[in-house]
Structure 1
Amino acid sequence: MASPSSSTGPSSTGTQAGRPAGGLRCAVCGGESRQPPFRPGPPEQAPDLDLRPGEPLRGTMARWLQQCPHCSYAAPDIGRAHPAAAEAVAAAPFRALITETSHPLLARRFLAWAHVLEETGALHAAAEATLHAAWVADDMNRPDLAASWRLEAVALWRSGPPLDAEQTVRVIDALRRAEAWEDAAATVEGLLASQPPEAVAQVTAVERRLVAARDAGRHTMASALPPPARRPHVAQQRIGRRATGEGLWSWLRQIFGRR
């Protein structure tokens, strides 16, 4: 979910940009609030096939995004924002989204971030945030919402720049989990026909078997890429940066580029 609005870093004065002494200043509305810092630790379990991280990082989703209590802007760091974010936050679709009480509160936070990303042209990052909302729906036992948001994530991925092999694997998993069987099967065959890297082909072969069995359940990366005995699963590399939306695509390349 990398974007200019999600980057952070210390300023020359020793405080972060947008972070006054009394708290964090929202880059959209200027309101101040206390936002607890989040420094994720490494997961100990293998991630799911859609790269949702394993525990203990898996259970920290409520801390992945900050949200301004004044204007409801949500982002990994609300002290930074794309120049067009304020217009997106003020518009009716955003306001309707954050007040949709039929959706879990945490899911609305990820959807709010996804909406801003989409409106500012970061379509692949918006897909990632929408998938995170689906993960929340999974945890809340809302398969209807989870399936809907996975399909929305797929649409966003496909609306953006051309997908590479690693991203296509995530599209396949989202389609499978949403029970879009024909699309999932066609996407599997298209990816395998492109002769992807070995590790991608291994994961795709697992997805092919699951699609053929009409299995819409959760499966972990260990089922495709067994973890070595003496180091963390390869799919856990750089997982902390990915959880907060930084360095996603380079992290994905690491996942599938080594064993």
Structure 2
Amino acid sequence: MAEPSPTRTPWDGRSRRAQAGRDGAAGSRAPGTIRCAVCGTESRQSRPRAQPPEQAPDLDLRPGEPLRSTMATWLQQCPHCGYAAPDISRVHPAVAQAVAAAPFRALVNDTSHPALARRFLGWAHVLEESGALHAAAEATLQAAWVADDENQPELASLWRREAVALWRAGPPLDHEQTVRVVDALRRARAWDDAGASARAAAADAPPEAAAQVLALEARLIAARDDGRHSVASALPPPSRRPHVAQRGTPSRPGAPGWWAQLRRWFGGR
């Protein structure tokens, strides 16, 4: 892919002030605490546990259970400044200014939105500010997943449309991203755009697995079906081989590899 997934930090730079604080206080820090690279605040943070999915992922590649229900552990968030990231001890040099600015503060403090969704939107915002548009798109899609779980379809639709805009604003899309754009548009009930995008993607000689998913998407769009469907609906398990959901999982949620595994397991290279 052209850009990293939002569950992988797309930078290695660190705040000099926070790094100096870590170097000076590493010996005295309580076990399990992390120092925020933006403001230097120490806090206890959870880390995602490996939860290999036992069910197939959705068409937008949201993983199946039990990994599906661990979203609350995918991002850490500083309790002081609100910075959210897979690892808040790491930060891009441009992020501190973005976190202090009014748009970020408005996002993370908007109590009309689910708290977990705000965490993903905050991460999407700093990714966008640092230029990682495709990663920001995925983080925004993950906020839509939270809205799905909270039974807030209008927010889910809004954030899916925003994810599509971010994907399209970034570098050229690969086949995986194109299929996910089609699914996001369908789930957001943007029927004309979804149909046109599905037809264009199908005409672009996609790999076999992607072509099968696009064919299903086209049928769902024609039926005005905006519901959740799994990859298993488009790619039945081949004989003598377990389904994709029983063949392992990326090391971190949303990490690159879902589509590569689908292509490999189902022969759509």
TM-score by length of 1: 0.89
Which of 71, 74, 91 does residue 101 from structure 2 map onto?
91
Distance 2:69 2:55 in 1: 12
Distance 1:178 1:114 in 2: 19
Distance 1:19 1:25 in 2: 10
TM-score by length of 2: 0.86
Task: Check the 8 A contact 1:66/1:75 in 2, yes or no.
Answer: yes
Partner residue in 1 for 2:168: 158
Alignment of 1:24-103 (within 5 A): 24-103=34-113
User: How big is each residue's C-alpha offset from its partner over 1:196-220, in whole Å with a ceiling of 9 and x where there is no partner?
Assistant: 1111100100000000000000000
User: How big is each residue's C-alpha offset from its partner over 1:123-165, in whole Å with a ceiling of 9 and x where there is no partner?
Assistant: 0000000000000000000000000000000000000000011
User: How big is each residue's C-alpha offset from its partner over 1:172-204, in whole Å with a ceiling of 9 and x where there is no partner?
Assistant: 000000000000000011011111111110010
Distance 1:207 1:53 in 2: 18
Alignment of 1:71-220 (within 5 A): 71-220=81-230
Task: Check the 8 A contact 2:34/2:89 in 1, yes or no.
Answer: yes
Task: Check the 8 A contact 2:55/2:245 in 1, yes or no.
Answer: no
Consecutive unaligned residues in structure 2, runs of 5 or more: 14-21
Distance 2:259 2:248 in 1: 9
Confirm or deny that 1:4 pairs with 2:4. Answer: no
Q: Which runs of 4+ in 1 moved over 6 A?
A: 16-19
Distance 2:246 2:213 in 1: 15
Aligned residue-pair number: 248
1:89 CA drift (Å): 0.4
Distance 2:179 2:246 in 1: 17
- Identical counterparts, % of pairs: 68
Q: 1:48 to 1:66 in 2, by over 3 A?
A: same
Consecutive unaligned residues in structure 1, runs of 5 or more: 8-15
User: How big is each residue's C-alpha offset from its partner over 1:20-49, in whole Å with a ceiling of 9 and x where there is no partner?
Assistant: 432201111111001122222200000100
Q: 1:169 to 1:17 in 2, by over 3 A?
A: farther
Q: 1:50 to 1:235 in 2, by over 3 A?
A: farther
SS in 2 for 1:211: helix
Task: Check the 8 A contact 1:242/1:251 in 2, yes or no.
Answer: no
